[in-house]
Chains A and B, each alone.
Chain A
Amino acid sequence: MINYKGVSIVRKKVTILENINLSLNAGDFAYLTGNVGSGKSSLLKTIYAEIPVETGTAKVAGYSLNDIERNEIPYLRRKLGIIFQDYRLLNDRNIYDNLKFVLEAAEISDRKEIRNRISEVISKVNLEGRENKMPYELSGGEQQRAGIARAIVNNPQIILADEPTGNLDPDSYYSIMEILVKLAKAGTCVLIATHNQELIEKYPGINYHIENKTLRLI
């Protein structure tokens, strides 16, 4: 699913990560840990092709990130589900339309299929009855669950979560983590960037740690 060999990440002539190797398969539940500013988000950004990979070889969901064309990036991203710390829901439309947008963007136009998929993910993240609410009408935990619903509505092969519990209280983030664990058990590759040690102890998984610009498996 994700295969990095000897990859270095350079931003504005500053080396962020050097010669990293990362390998994750379907059903893997993995963490990316490290201090704030260590490069976790930058590594995730390379996976969804927001930052280019210039050295080493990187493959994600069958796409080579070394020579991916700009017009291929949306197709790569449709195989990924991205969850952000600040949710990044589309604030000008309700939760149902947020999910519908993802499916329409992925060129799914069958109304029945759209309705079925949305109601399926809404129930997976326990947001039944909240579909018609605008994002700002929901609590932080609910918004993040809507963010997860959006990430999984298109049946992605990989879920990338950048500090998904960073803005939430413990009760909310336990419910988020349980959803993510279930998704991994169902065969999705889940990679969570976090610096929350408690999470790692409570929900164990593969742990990649960033320190001194290098990535190592703990």
Chain B
Amino acid sequence: MSNTTWRVRSAYFTSVVSITLVLLMIGITSLLIINAHKLSDYAKSNIGFTVFLKENVRPIEIDRLEKTLSIAKYSKSAKFVSKEEASSKLINELGEDFIELMGYNPLPNSIEILLKPEYTQEDSINSIRREILKNKSVDEFFYQKSLVLAINENVKKLSLIGIIFTILFLFISVALINNTVRLSIFSKRFLIQTAQLVGASDKFIRKPFVIKSIISGILSASFASLAVTGIVLILKSDFKNIITVEGIWQIVSITFIFGITITGISGSRAVSQFLKTDSDKLQLEE
């Protein structure tokens, strides 16, 4: 292989590596976006409320209420906690037998409900509360308002930060890929000019450059997809509820669509620019 051919191939390899790294960044960002709702669902998975029951409610009614609550649209799970279970749990937590002190068990029977993520907003919980309190067996409805507010507030903040970073990454990626493609075409500007002078049309000159750019986009997207898939496979066992392989096809598709579109458009735009550049200016750009 001659020196020139080697140099041309090495320049092409370098541009493919640069585009691969940028697409890898896009792939990881997509991975985070696709899994962001799982992360927020995970954070919200402990949000729920407790329904305290009146003293005289019969077991059959408790059973019916537990079933109704467990199949309600907002409910992820509903679990009956008898006053005995509640007291032994509290004794364990306090390390002191308060029943002995008081002479009776003051804790009521209760049902603990965990909510589906989409019903964890404060207004949803309030409307559930109004509905549940209509039931004659229910004495009290309790939820940790501050915890709900804090979780929702943090999820909102993180989503906003995520959106800002995604837009920033997209902007950086487009700029970097555009520059890489432009630079590789810039080195061929005299070839473009010579092609013009022998009577080649703009379309005829543009075509091989755009094809070559798109091929480098496809190659880079393939490498980036492999890397992202590797990352997902490594992380999925440690982050079982957050990262799954289900979204991998979406990420691969995004990487390919992004890689092909940006390299194609950048290639076409760069050639067009050199096609319209005056030959004297072309020399000055050296």
Complex CA gap A90/B205 in Å reads 13
> Quick one: CB contact mask for B173-214 with A, threshold 8 Å, 1 for yes?
000000000000000101100111111111010000000000
Complex CA gap A74/B33 in Å reads 49
- Are B197 and A105 touching (Cβ within 8 A)? no
- Are A134 and B197 touching (Cβ within 8 A)? no
Instruction: Tell me if B279 is interfacial: C-beta within 8 Å of chain A.
Output: yes
Instruction: Tell me if B2 is interfacial: C-beta within 8 Å of chain A.
Output: yes
B194 to chain A: closest residue by CB: A88
Complex CA gap A125/B200 in Å reads 23
Contact partners of A71 in chain B: CB under 8 A: 201-202
- Are B199 and A134 touching (Cβ within 8 A)? no
CB distance from A157 to the nearest CB of B (A): 12
Instruction: Tell me if A24 is interfacial: C-beta within 8 Å of chain B.
Output: no
Contact partners of A50 in chain B: CB under 8 A: 197, 279
Contact A105-B200, Cβ < 8 Å, known A88-B194, A90-B195: yes
- Are A90 and B191 touching (Cβ within 8 A)? yes
> Quick one: CB contact mask for A98-111 with B, threshold 8 Å, 1 for yes?
00011011100000
Contact A136-B4, Cβ < 8 Å, known A88-B194, A90-B191, A92-B191: yes
Instruction: Tell me if B99 is interfacial: C-beta within 8 Å of chain A.
Output: no
Contact A77-B279, Cβ < 8 Å, known A88-B190, A92-B191: no
Out of B2, B190, B198, which one reaches A101, CB within 8 Å? B198
> Quick one: CB contact mask for A64-108 with B, threshold 8 Å, 1 for yes?
000000010011111010100000111110000000011011100
Out of B191, B194, B199, B279, which one reaches A74, CB within 8 Å? B199
Contact partners of B201 in chain A: CB under 8 A: 71, 74, 105
Complex CA gap A92/B195 in Å reads 12
Instruction: Tell me if B8 is interfacial: C-beta within 8 Å of chain A.
Output: yes
CB distance from A188 to the nearest CB of B (A): 16
- Are B199 and A88 touching (Cβ within 8 A)? no
Q: Identify the interface centre among B197, B201, B279: most chain A CB within 10 Å of its CB.
A: B197
- Are A102 and B199 touching (Cβ within 8 A)? yes
**B residues 151-189 in Cβ contact with A at 8 Å:** 188
Out of A45, A90, A104, A134, which one reaches B194, CB within 8 Å? A90
Instruction: Tell me if A154 is interfacial: C-beta within 8 Å of chain B.
Output: yes
- Are A105 and B194 touching (Cβ within 8 A)? no
Complex CA gap A71/B197 in Å reads 13
Complex CA gap A136/B2 in Å reads 11
Contact partners of A89 in chain B: CB under 8 A: 194
Instruction: Tell me if A48 is interfacial: C-beta within 8 Å of chain B.
Output: yes
- Are B4 and A88 touching (Cβ within 8 A)? no
Complex CA gap A54/B202 in Å reads 24
For this complex, 16 residue pairs linking A to B, each with C-beta atoms less than 8 Å apart, are A50-B279, A71-B201, A74-B199, A74-B200, A77-B196, A82-B197, A89-B194, A91-B4, A101-B198, A104-B204, A105-B199, A105-B200, A105-B204, A134-B2, A136-B4, A150-B198
Residues of B within 8 A of A (CB): 2, 4, 8, 188, 190-191, 194-202, 204, 279
Known: A90-B191, A101-B198, A154-B199; 19 extra A-B contacts, CB below 8 A, are A48-B197, A71-B201, A71-B202, A74-B202, A77-B196, A78-B199, A88-B190, A88-B197, A90-B194, A90-B195, A92-B191, A102-B198, A102-B199, A104-B204, A105-B198, A105-B201, A106-B199, A134-B2, A136-B4
By Cβ-Cβ distance, the 4 closest A-B pairs, closest first, are A105-B200, A78-B199, A77-B199, A74-B201
